Amino acid sequence: MTVASSPGIAVSDAKRRHAIVAATIGNGLEWFDFTVFGFFAALISKQFFPKEDPLNAILLTVTIYGVGFFMRPVGAIVLGVYADRSGRKAALTVTILAMALGTALLGFAPTYSQAGVFGAVILMLARLIQGFSAGGEVGSATSYLVEYAKPGERGLAASWQQTSQALAVVLGGLCGVAITQFLPQEAVESWGWRVPFWFGLLIGPVGLYIRARLDETPVFAAETTRKSQSPLLETLSEHGRGVASGFGVTILWTVCTYVLLFYMPLYVEKFLSIPAKDAFVSTTLGGLVLMFGCPVAGKVSDRIGRKTLLLMAACAIGVVVIPLFAWLNANPTLPVLIVVQMVLGFLLAAFTGPAPALLAEQFPAGLRSTGLSLAYNFAVTLFGGFAALIVTLLIEKTGLKIAPSFYVAAAALVSIVTLTTMRDRTGEPID
C-alpha cells in the first residue's frame, strides 16, 4: 500500500514508518546530549567552581548552560539554510557529528581542582558546539517528519520530534536515578556525573549510522519543489509573519520545557530540600507522561485543529501553574512533586505535541527548515536558554520560591495572544 506524503508524491507505508522511527531515534540521542547538562547542574557546579560560594557556583553553571543557546540562532541560520539547499539528510548528519564532539568535551573536561578556570572554559566551548548543532536539529528533523507524513497525519508525524525530546528527559532522569541510587555520594560528585556524557557519546557511531541510512524526503527531492538560492532572505522578506508567529508560540513551549522539566531537579534540591534522587524519579515520571502524551496530542490536533488544542493547553497551563507551585512549596514531598510534574507534563504534551506541525505548516518546502529554525531557536535562546538563570534570580530578588511559576504564566499569556492571530492550516495542502 502507498500513501501520499504530499499531493502527487507516493510513499510506501513501510518506508514512511522507517523514516519516522529513524528520525525520532536520532533526534532523541541528539537532545539527550544537549539537555543532560541541565539535570546535573548542581553536581557540575561543585566540580568546576570554588565551593566557598555555592549560589555563585550554581549561577555560573547555569550561565554556561545558557551560553550554548547563544549559538542556537547561528546554527539555525547556517544549518537551516543548508537543509533547504542540500537536503534534510545532509543537515541532520552535520548536527549529529557536532553534538558528539561537544558531548566528548563535556565528558572529559578537567575540573577546577585539576585545571582551575580552564575546565570551565572547556565546558563553555562544549556548550557552544552543542548549541550550534541543536540550532539546526529542530528545523531539519521537523521538516523531515512533516514531509514524510500523510496529509491528514502531519500533527502525529511531527509530534515525534517533541516525543524524542521527552525521551531525552526520560533517559536523563533514569541516568540520574541510577547514579544517585547505586553510587556513593563521593563517587557521584567525583566522576559519576560524567557517566551520562560518556553514554551520550553513543550519538557519534549510532546516530551517524541511523542517519546515513535515511532517504531524502520525497517532497524536497521532487523536481516540482522550488529551491531558493537565498533561503534566509526569502524567508524573512516573504514569510516574516510566519517566523514571528512561530516565535510567539515557541515562547511557552521552551519556557515550560526548560523550567518544568530540566530546571526542576536543581530547583527542588536547592530551594525545597528534596533529595536529588527523588527529584530525578519525579522528573522521569513527568518525562514519561510527556513522551506518551505528545503523539496522542498530535493525533488529536489532526482531528480538531492545532490552534484549538494549543489554545486550550496554553490557557490551562497559565491557570494552574501558580497554584501547583504554591502547593509544592507548602508540601515539599516526593508524592506532591510527582503529581505536580505529571499534571504539568500532561498539559505540556497537549501544547508541544502539535506545536512542531503548526510551525512547519507556516512555510513552503523550499523554506521550511530555515523558517522553522529561525522561529524556534531565537525564542529558545531568549526565553529558554537562560530560563534557569532567570528564575533563580527571580527567587533571589523576590524572596518567593514560587517565582518560577510567574515566568511560566507570563509565557503562557504571550503564546495565547500569538495563537489568536495565527492561521490554522491543519489538513490543508502545504506543498
Residue 185 has pLDDT above 70, yes or no: yes
| pLDDT in the model for residue 143 | 87
Burial tier of 110 (Cβ tally within 10 Å: 0-12, 13-18, 19+): middle
Cell 530546571 belongs to which residue?
263
Predicted model pTM: 0.82
Q: How far is CA 54 from CA 58, 191, 270, in A?
A: 6, 19, 10
Residue 365 has pLDDT above 90, yes or no: no
Task: Give the count of beta carbons closer than 10 Å to the beta carbon of residue 3.
Answer: 17
| pLDDT in the model for residue 181 | 84
Percent of the chain at pLDDT exceeding 70: 95
Best-predicted range by mean pLDDT among 6-20, 62-76, 97-111, 216-230?
97-111
Q: How far is CA 171 from CA 129, 142, 146, 287, in A?
A: 22, 21, 25, 9
Band of pLDDT at residue 7, cut at 50, 70 and 90: very low
C-alpha cell at 250: 515557541
Best-predicted range by mean pLDDT among 22-26, 144-148, 279-283, 414-418?
414-418
Residue 127 has pLDDT above 80, yes or no: yes
Cell 561537544 belongs to which residue?
102
Residue 342 has pLDDT above 90, yes or no: yes
Residue 199 has pLDDT above 70, yes or no: yes
| pLDDT in the model for residue 223 | 60
| pLDDT in the model for residue 243 | 94
| pLDDT in the model for residue 41 | 81
Question: CB–CB of 271/401 below 8 Å?
Answer: yes
Looking at per-residue pLDDT, the higher value among 302 and 215 belongs to 302
| pLDDT in the model for residue 12 | 66
Band of pLDDT at residue 188, cut at 50, 70 and 90: confident
Residue type, 328: L
Question: CB–CB of 89/136 below 8 Å?
Answer: no
Band of pLDDT at residue 3, cut at 50, 70 and 90: very low
Tell me what the pLDDT averaged over the chain comes to. Answer: 86
Question: CB–CB of 387/259 below 8 Å?
Answer: yes
Residue partners of 225: CB distance under 8 A and separation at least 6? 219, 365, 366, 431
pLDDT digits (tens, 9 = 90+) for 370-392: 999 999 989 988 898 778 888 98
3 state DSSP class of 98: helix
Residue 2 has pLDDT above 50, yes or no: no
Where would I find the H helices in 40-116? 41-48, 54-67, 72-86, 88-108, 112-115
Looking at per-residue pLDDT, the higher value among 324 and 178 belongs to 324
Residue partners of 55: CB distance under 8 A and separation at least 6? 396
3 state DSSP class of 2: strand
Band of pLDDT at residue 337, cut at 50, 70 and 90: very high
H/E segment holding residue 117: helix 117-147
Neighbouring-strand partners of residue 9: 6
Q: What DSSP designation does 272 have?
A: S
| pLDDT in the model for residue 304 | 95
Band of pLDDT at residue 178, cut at 50, 70 and 90: confident
| pLDDT in the model for residue 40 | 81
Residue 298 has pLDDT above 90, yes or no: yes
